[in-house]
Amino acid sequence: MPASPFQIKVCGITRPTDGRVAFEAGADAIGLNFYAKSPRYVDAPTVEAMNLRSLKRTVYRPFHQVGLFVNASVEEIRNRVDLAQIDIIQIHGDEPPEFLAQLPRDIPLIRARRMDDRGVAAIAEDIEACRAAGRVPDAVLVDAFTPGRYGGTGETVSWAGLADHSRWLGDVPLILAGGLTSENVAEAIRIVRPAGVDTASGVESSPGVKDPDKIRRFVEAAREALERL
């Protein structure tokens, strides 16, 4: 299985306590959402106030801060990367394949794709377009398709439709997202066999507010299922 930049990510962190819970539970990464229309949006000053730098200094295992961007400019992404100590970039909008080659090459890049009725073949076509344009993402994150929405909907994707993803995506790791919870993540991993998983709404008490117990149960269930692979 191709290696992913992370195995377990808790996305949409808006409070420092939630970031610390995710780390202590054993997650590999947290996601900071810089899309202003999201209920999980955090601006740069808020990230500074959260002081996640101090958390990272205490980490003795890989632990990443992923910056999530939707149709942002290259300049905006570069600024957020510097201000928030982002070490993985995730583009989650309608960015054209040519856009990837303009982003910093020393930072891993995840391209999110919303899976519609065209299935994984359309995602594979997009990856090939990225390759032709000069940069293949380090992983592709597959989320549910909801018109006008860019993730965080709580909707699941067709796990069966992704079961043969390696035939389509080759050496590009797949990160599974979309409605994952502690109750369904093990079954999703068993069917899809992804390189990693990502959750946001599945571990919340309300949009942007994480539930510590849900985080812990999700990470435990995901880790156990990934280890079985």
At 196, phi and psi to the nearest 5?
-165, 170
Q: Is residue 73 part of a domain?
A: yes
Q: Does residue 108 fall inside a structural domain?
A: yes
Between helices 16-25 and 212-228, what is the axis angle to 10°?
Answer: 30
Catalytic residue among 11, 87, 138, 198: 11
Mean pLDDT of 64-91: 93
CATH number at residue 19: 3.20.20.70
DSSP of 179-224, one letter per residue?
S--TTTHHHHHHHH--SEEEESGGGEEETTEE-HHHHHHHHHHHHH
pLDDT digit string, tens, across residues 114-153: 988 888 999 999 999 999 999 999 999 999 866 555 555 5
Q: Does residue 1 fall inside a structural domain?
A: no
Whether residue 57 is contained in a domain is answered as yes
DSSP 147: T
Q: Is 143 a catalytic residue?
A: yes
Q: What's the token pair of residue 151?
A: 């993730």
At residue 60, φ and ψ (nearest 5 deg) are -115, 25
Q: Find the domain containing 218 and state its range.
A: 8-228
Q: What is the pTM of this model?
A: 0.92
Residue 69: predicted pLDDT: 97
Give 171-205 pLDDT, tens digit per residue.
Answer: 999 999 999 999 999 999 999 999 999 999 999 99
Give the gyration radius of the chain's Cα atoms: 16
The structural domain count of the chain equals 1
Tell me the pLDDT tens digit for each residue of 14-66: 998 898 899 889 999 999 999 999 999 998 778 877 766 666 666 567 788 99
* Predicted confidence (pLDDT) per residue in 203-227, tens digit: 999 988 999 999 999 999 999 999 9
What stretch of H or E contains 77? Answer: helix 74-84
11 assigned to active site? yes
pLDDT for the residue 170? 92
**Residue bearing the bigger pLDDT, 106 or 54:** 106
Cβ-proximal residues to 161 (8 Å cutoff; 6+ apart), any chain: 115, 119, 120
Point out the catalytic residue in the list 18, 28, 138, 143. Answer: 143
